Amino acid sequence: MNFSDMLANTEQLYDGDLAHYFRVVMQTNPGNNNPYHNFRHLGHVTWMCYKGCVYYRNELDPREMRDLLIAALFHDYAHRGRSGNDDLNIELAVRGLRPHLLPEDVQSADTIYGLIRSTEFPHVLPADHLSLAGQILRDADMSQSASDAWLQQVVFGLAAEMGISPLEMLHRQIGFHEQVEPITDWGKKEFGPSILEKLKEAHALLRLLHDD
């Protein structure tokens, strides 16, 4: 399974496919080249949500999976590429998706928009108030801090959007990785152990950086 197979839904896991929405994001998203909230982030979160759908294939129906994957692909669409006022970033994402909804997805629009809004950070809704799809999306949205691209995406990319140095971001990652915990059983198994590894890595990198 690769990214194109997931978009084409070759395994027939969810309703339809994501080809239309992929084209929209590829061709029109003004934030694709942001330091952190870029195309790679959107693709990573969508891929992780797909893996969550596979894990919960007996609990989510194909329509719910489709709603989740559309929301994942658009959750940071048109992100301004700087920190603060994430409620505005969320509304930009919703507005960006609205004119591109396919007829078969119009009835699910409110559900999809609600999923996008559940990713607002700092989080507004408690995790136990979210649907299973919302919990998967929130876990997926946090998972890049435990990925192989962590140093580039978070330590350099997110630092640039926040207007701080990579070194300061690396220091902040200690506290983040000490506190972050996946919500779902899937998230705990999928990347929970990697969070602990990244915490160890952050400590090790800081020792190297401060070793004169």
Of the candidate ranges 20-29, 120-129, 200-209, the one whose mean pLDDT is the lowest: 120-129
pLDDT band per the 50, 70, 90 thresholds, residue 15? very high
pLDDT for res 200: 92
pLDDT for res 184: 97
Contact yes or no for 72/39 (Cβ under 8 A)? no
Domain boundaries, the chain: 3-209
Judge if the upstream peptide bond of residue 166 is cis by omega within 30 degrees of 0. Answer: no
The whole-number average pLDDT for the span 62-69 is 98
Secondary structure (DSSP) of 56-90: TTTTS-HHHHHHHHHHHHHTTTT--SSSS-HHHHH
pLDDT band per the 50, 70, 90 thresholds, residue 212? low
pLDDT for res 105: 98
pLDDT band per the 50, 70, 90 thresholds, residue 149? confident
State what percent of residues in the chain have pLDDT above 90. Answer: 82
Kindly state the tokens that stand for 212. 């004169």
pLDDT band per the 50, 70, 90 thresholds, residue 9? very high
SS3 147: coil
The whole-number average pLDDT for the span 70-92 is 94
Give the chain's mean pLDDT: 94
pLDDT for res 35: 96
**3-209: CATH topology:** Catalytic domain of cyclic nucleotide phosphodiesterase 4b2b (1.10.1300)
Residues 6 or more apart from 96 whose CB is under 8 A from it? 28, 29, 74, 77, 78
**31-64 pLDDT, tens digit each:** 999 999 999 999 999 999 999 999 999 999 999 9
- How many Å from the N-terminal Cα to the C-terminal Cα in the chain? 46
Gap between the Cα atoms of 27 and 16, Å rounded: 21
Of the candidate ranges 53-62, 130-139, 195-204, the one whose mean pLDDT is the lowest: 195-204
- Show the CA angle centred on residue 124, arms to residues 99 and 155, nearest 5°: 85
pLDDT at 211 over 80: no
Gap between the Cα atoms of 87 and 85, Å rounded: 5
pLDDT band per the 50, 70, 90 thresholds, residue 5? very high
**This prediction's pTM:** 0.95
- Show the CA angle centred on residue 50, arms to residues 143 and 190, nearest 5°: 40
SS3 102: coil
Give me the helices (H) in the chain, please: 3-8, 19-28, 39-55, 62-74, 86-97, 109-117, 132-142, 150, 159-162, 166-179, 185-190, 192-209
Of the candidate ranges 8-12, 14-18, 90-94, 197-201, the one whose mean pLDDT is the lowest: 197-201
pLDDT band per the 50, 70, 90 thresholds, residue 203? very high
